[in-house]
Amino acid sequence: MFKKVLIAEDMEDINKGVHTLLTELGVSHIDQVQYCDDAYLKIKRADLDQEPYDLVVSDLSFKVDHRLQTHTSGHALVEKLKEEFPDLKVIVYSVEDRLQAVRTLFNQHNIDAYVCKSRNGLKNLSLAISEIAEGKTFLSPEVSNAFSSANELEIDDYDISLLDNLSKGLSQDEISALYRKENISPASLSSIEKRLNKLRIQFNANNAIHLVAIVKDLGLI
């Protein structure tokens, strides 16, 4: 079992719940932080002192700090930690349940477990800790089909952004104007139309409204 664990969570009640669970599991050294930069600096210092953490339990979203932050989200924190400390075990503990987000965290950032904050959140967190202690990975039941063949579709962050803007009621012309303003490429109307046609075929959707409904059902947006 893990001996030294860091909790990165800005909600005090959740912090307490995770701390209590870790104590019950026999973890002897538990630290808590409320901001991503604090988490990174604490892990960095521990590594330099040759007293590294075994495990990090991190949320994905954090409240804004009055200080300038280098890592402003759990996504950025996890990416940095796995890049710099590849042997560090990381559990994401979040309300986020979009399957695409879960896949990205596993495939691109190499997290070890994803646990949804829910009625059974702490129970599943306990299971996750036990599983990764044995070198396995863990997915909460709510997102357990993230890697099923039905959901392993070729869709990237640009597609997610496009579909998300469609779901908000933006027209293709408005999305094109928005992408030009934000320097997102491709931004031309013709490129957006081609991308949406490709997605409609890929998801077997009749139209844009049907497409948005399908990807919402799949948890992609």
Q: Number of structural domains, the chain? A: 2
Percent of the chain with pLDDT over 70: 95
Clarify whether residues 134 and 196 are in a common domain: no
Cα-only R_g, the chain: 20
Examine the fold and report which residue of 91, 111, 143 is the final residue of a domain before the chain moves on.
143
Q: Look at residue 154 in the predicted model and tell me its pLDDT.
A: 62
Backbone angles phi, psi at 55, to 5 degrees: -150, 145
Amino acid (1-letter code) at residue 151: N
Clarify whether residues 119 and 192 are in a common domain: no
| 45-59, 64-78, 92-106, 148-162 — most confident range | 45-59
Clarify whether residues 130 and 206 are in a common domain: no
Question: What is the average per-residue pLDDT within 52-71?
Answer: 85
Q: pLDDT per residue over 102-128, tens digit each?
A: 888 888 888 999 999 999 999 999 999
Clarify whether residues 163 and 115 are in a common domain: no
Clarify whether residues 87 and 25 are in a common domain: yes
Report pTM.
0.71
Range of the domain at 15: 4-143
Query: What is the spatial distance between Cα 97 and Cα 103, in angstroms, rounded to a whole number?
Result: 11
Asked if pLDDT for residue 136 goes beyond 80, the answer is: yes
Clarify whether residues 210 and 185 are in a common domain: yes
Clarify whether residues 116 and 56 are in a common domain: yes
Burial 68-89 (b: 16+ CB within 10 A, else e): eeebbebbbbbbbbbeebeebb
Asked if pLDDT for residue 149 goes beyond 80, the answer is: no
In a domain, 151, yes or no: no
What token pair was written down for 105?
């965290």
Clarify whether residues 9 and 95 are in a common domain: yes
Q: Look at residue 145 in the predicted model and tell me its pLDDT.
A: 77
Q: Look at residue 151 in the predicted model and tell me its pLDDT.
A: 58
Clarify whether residues 138 and 171 are in a common domain: no
In a domain, 91, yes or no: yes
Asked if pLDDT for residue 219 goes beyond 90, the answer is: no
Clarify whether residues 76 and 168 are in a common domain: no
Query: What is the spatial distance between Cα 58 and Cα 15, in angstroms, rounded to a whole number?
Result: 10
Helix/strand/coil percent split, the chain, to 5: 50, 10, 40
Q: Could you tell me the CATH number of the domain that includes residue 57?
A: 3.40.50.2300
Clarify whether residues 21 and 119 are in a common domain: yes
Clarify whether residues 35 and 110 are in a common domain: yes
